[in-house]
Amino acid sequence: MKTIIIGANHAGIAAANVLLSQTGHEVVMIDKNSNLSYLGCGTALWVGRQIDSYEELFYTSKEALEKKGAKISLETEVEMIDFCHKKVYCQNPTETYCETYDKLILATGSRPISPNVPGKDLKNIHFLKSFQDGKTIDALLDNPAVKNVAVVGAGYIGVEIAEAIQRRGKNVHLFDGESGALSSYYDPEFSTKMDQTLADHGIKLHFGEIATAYKGHETVEAIVTNKQEYPVELVIHAIGFLPNNALGQNHLETFRNGAYFVDATQQTSDPDVYAVGDCVTIYSNALQKDTYIALATNAVRSGIVAGHNIAGVKLNAIGVQGSNGISIFGLHMVATGLTVKAAEKYGMDVLYTDYEDYQKPTFMKENGKVSIRIVYEKATRRIVGAQLSSQMDVSMAIHMFSLAIQKQVTIDELKLLDIFFLPHFNQPYNYMTMAALAAE
């Protein structure tokens, strides 16, 4: 059995590792990049000098996978796929060649959204996705002539890189068309905490502003929005991503945004083609239908599922909640499932319960307040989302809510959940219990 995997990052590597652990499987990996396994979520950490270097952001290597038996071709572009004859046509710097397959895994990931505005091709306008992007931006921040930086997009990547650039001593402008940061992940009552944290650390916030043009002579010198013009020497786009579907969009069934539709085994509409990672749909247990959630954790799980099924071991995906988190200037925020705003957007009738209290008893010296919101469906009362924020580390709590959504736990079942108490960790009246008890 020969499986070709197009794309050698998180999802592709996860699938390859499963197949390489089985006997009788030939694995060929093809990627246009010069490296693999880069943890992009760590870019802001090394650009902001919060870690010493980027080397450990690569968790495996070409050599390690080849030692397991994989054949790997980097810096190789897939020009086209002949799905009828199961052929993949490739080109690298020295030759053009063809590979045949029994099974094919598309792990082509996603591509950054680029605003189509005048001046977008000026120098010093960059995206932040690959390792090379990170190195380019890191080098530009060493240039003393780069004083003012515009970050366009206040999602996770935009907020994280804004913090990193501010830590490098630059003047940072953060732009977003929404009314606040992280609006896709948190309701306003929580996102305003992040807005205040960013502002308190000197980041200039420009919400409700959309870039309409870039000005400059060869190199960007200003960003123009629907409100004003600002001098900048560097622009970083962090608007969002779309699935990379160029290779299969004319052959495979796709979602409204172009992602490949897959079933619970990661199989596409072509039975010999599987797709994994950021180029595919995923089942949301909160929505109870297919959607698109591009997260590295989802990518890894999808690769594991595809690898097992190609290897002949039946394994169905169990859906996701889109669990996520962020830590900026000491403010920790975590979320899973749907916000109130997102639920209403999808036509769901939901209620929510909020609660705020100290994480530990007030006699504990190391302490801090925790804010929590639990979102639940009005008719069924099943939990469909949760959000937490604190200066304390409350991240592990979100995993419980993720499981609650997956298992369709109701807000009422949570009220008397067996939660232990010890002053080192929490209060006798736990904030999760109190939020559930306060539910309508």
For residue 161 the two structure tokens come to: 């890189």
Question: Who contacts 33 (Cβ-Cβ below 8 Å, separation ≥6)?
Answer: 8, 9, 74, 75, 130, 131
Q: CA–CA separation, 427 vs 425, rounded Å?
A: 7
- Residue 41 appears among annotated catalytic residues: yes
Q: Which of 10, 25, 173, 237 is catalytic?
A: 10
Q: Where are the beta strands (DSSP E) in 77-147?
A: 77-82, 87-91, 96-100, 103-106, 110-112, 125-127
Q: Which of 25, 41, 98, 399 is catalytic?
A: 41
Alpha helices (H) along 58-155 = 62-67, 131-141
3-state secondary structure of 64: helix
Matching residue, tokens 């939660």: 419
Strand partners of residue 375: 352, 385
Q: CA–CA separation, 41 vs 208, rounded Å?
A: 26
Q: CA–CA separation, 192 vs 49, rounded Å?
A: 26
CB atoms within 10 A of CB 186: 26
Q: CA–CA separation, 88 vs 71, rounded Å?
A: 15
Matching residue, tokens 């409350």: 394
Positive or negative torsion for Cα 141, 145, 146, 148: positive
Q: Which residues are identified as catalytic?
A: 10, 41
